[in-house]
Structure 1
Amino acid sequence: MSATATEQIVDEVTFDIDERGVATVTINRPRVLNAVDRATHDWLNEIWASIENNRDVRVVVITGGGQKAFCVGADMSADAVDKTGLEYWAELDPNGFGGLSLRTTLDVPVIAKVNGYALGGGMEIVLGADIVIAADTAKFGLTEPRVGRLALDGGIHQLVRRIPYTQAMGLLLTGRKAPAEELQRMGLVNEVAAAADLDAAVDRWVEQILACAPTSVRAVKQMVTRTTHLTAQEARAMRLPALMDALDSEDSAEGVAAFQQKRQPVWPGR
């Protein structure tokens, strides 16, 4: 990949980590409503991989650039749209759309800050997040059937696991766009905020995560992600790496000490 192409991708997907360990990933292609082409997808995959290897990252916020869209899915103007459905299906990324919708190796909590349309693959990215905060102007939908496509990157299979069957099928079989408040009633959206208050709402959730021990948060995410196919008893018996780290961590000792000393904990993060 040429330097020029790399610079363009960096411009179209911005990635920042602040001093708190909060990573912000922004799909910054507002001219196409933050639709994702192959180069953007590959860059997102690289970002998720780098976060997996960075213990300093404690929470990720993913959002879209501009005011209109979070992400409207695959870039229908890109050359990928020329592929047949079978060709597209054969080349699906195991990690799902944007490298996130089906990813099982990311032990850091992900907050979707939905600032506008979350359609098709954009909705699948939302389904790959752990917490969803949406502007009251946001709309959601797996609209693929309306253009003769299928939500194969996690949309069909994830939605029926996240919300009641009839509600999921009502979205899947119509391809309709639903407002944020409706998705909140269904249980997919945690909080709906006025567009002007969206940043503040997301930061409240971020701060609540940061108040928790990093090792505990990682363990919770890993235990949930990797044991959903098991019974509760089977899941409890799993000796997952993040669980074992948390049980024998400095965070665990610090939490007890802070409670006994009636002070706020200062998490070592290990």
Structure 2
Amino acid sequence: MTAVAEQTIVDQVTLTIRNHVATVVIDRQHVLNAVDGTAQARLNEIWAQLEADPSVRAVVITGAGTRAFCVGADMSASAVDKTGLEYWAGLDPNGFGGLSLRTSLNIPVIARVNGYALGGGMEMVLGADIVVASETAKFGLTEPRVGRLALDGGIHQLVRRIPHTQAMGMLLTGRKADAAEMQSMGLVNEVVPAEELDAAVQRWVDQILACAPTSVRAVKQMVTQTGHLTAKEARGLRLPALMAALDSEDSAEGVRAFQEKRPPVWPGR
């Protein structure tokens, strides 16, 4: 008999930090970057690590390859054997991928959408701050087509992010929409040809890095923490990142740089 070598598929969620920018890549291309329990746990670990690292000023999240950003929960995993009620009872408080409902990450998150962003993948897009998509990207909350529901923020966030009838048109049909349509609804910031995706993402990163890190963190925290308040109520909150920004070295450096007619060199504190 001829021995057949066993092929092992290595699941990965990778984190790279370079020049104040973190890049998170879901690399499970054999299932279109669907997330299983192990990947979910790893993503939560990554977000917690980034929350504790003040040197990180922006995050880019994407999927490996060219076909998919993320198509949601891994339907081939044993977790889908749970009933709907069992699944609902075990939902992650931080949402799908540890991101879709996360309120403790004060770093801007850019979703680099390179292909399908479906189900939980679409929910992670809804958890991002800026969305840059390839022309070939497809978006959708397709759970009703397999008898499930977008419970990790998809239903509740979509109706808050785009016009009601547009959101319901997607939620009630489970249909997919292309990047241009999602941009017209206001969910996508920029749509570019696939070969220009990295350059477009870098432009957004560079614009974030041009701003004072303490100001950016304050903006993110203020938006995340005050969405349920009126503008007047929100202004009165003494949030930690706000108070830190108002008394920061960045604040002093920004004024000096303006007066001296030079680019600021941000201390980040």
- TM category (shorter chain) comes to over 0.9
SS at match of 1:175: coil
Is 1:12 aligned to residue 8 of structure 2? no
Matches within 5 A, 1:1-270: 12-18=12-18, 20-270=19-269
Letter in 1 for 2:54: R
- Aligned-partner Cα distance in 1 for 2:11–2:220: 30
Q: Which residue of 1 aligns with 2:3?
A: none
Query: Could you say what secondary structure the match of 1:226 adopts?
Result: helix
Which runs of 5 or more structure 1 residues have no equivalent in the other structure? 1-7
Change in Cα spacing, 1:242 to 1:111, as seen in structure 2 (3 Å) is: same
Instruction: Give distance in 2, aligned partners of 1:234 and 1:60.
Output: 29
Partners of 1:33 and 1:12 lie apart in 2 by 12
8 Å CA contact retained: 1:27, 1:71: yes
CA RMSD of aligned residues (A): 1.1
Aligned equivalents of 1:168, 1:145: Cα separation in 2: 14
- Which letter maps to 1:12? Q
Contact 1:9 1:39 in 2 (8 A): no
Deviation at 1:27, TM superposition (A): 0.3
Partner amino acid, structure 2, of 1:51: L
State the 1:213 CA deviation: 0.2
Distance 1:9 1:214 in 2: 39
Report how far residue 162 of structure 1 moved. Answer: 0.5
Instruction: Give 1:223 shift.
Output: 0.1
Tell me, yes or no, if the aligned pair for 1:9 and 1:40 is still in contact at 8 Å.
no
Residue 268 to residue 10, structure 1, CA distance change in 2 (3 Å): farther
How far residue 9 of structure 1 moved from its aligned partner, in angstroms, is 11
- Structure 1 segments, 4+ long, off by >2 Å, are 8-11
Alpha-carbon distance in 2 for matches of 1:39, 1:192? 31
- The 2-side partners of 1:236 and 1:167 are apart by 31
Provide the rounded CA distance (Å) in 1 between the counterparts of 2:9 and 2:136.
28
Q: Which has the larger radius of gyration?
A: 2
**Cα distance, 1:193 vs structure 2:** 0.5
Cα distance in structure 1, aligned partners of 2:198 and 2:146: 33
Measured after TM superposition, the shift of residue 234 of structure 1 is 0.2
3-state SS of 1:88 partner:
helix
Tell me if structure 2 keeps the 8 A contact 1:163–1:186. Answer: yes
Unaligned stretches of 5+ residues in structure 2: 1-7
Q: Distance in 2 between matches of 1:27 and 1:168?
A: 27
Question: What's the TM-score once normalised by structure 2's chain length?
Answer: 0.96
Structure 2 distance, partners of 1:208, 1:22, is 12
Q: Distance in 1 between matches of 2:10 and 2:157?
A: 29
Q: Secondary structure at the match of 2:24?
A: strand
Amino acid at match of 1:86: L
Please tell me whether the aligned partners of residues 215 and 269 of structure 1 are also in contact (alpha carbons under 8 angstroms): yes
Measured against aligned partners, the alpha-carbon deviations of 1:12-34 in whole angstroms (never above 9, x if no partner) come to 1010000x210000000011000
Identity across the alignment (%):
78
Structure 1 position 190, deviation (Å): 0.1
Distance in 2 (CA, whole Å) between partners of 1:97 and 1:176 is 20
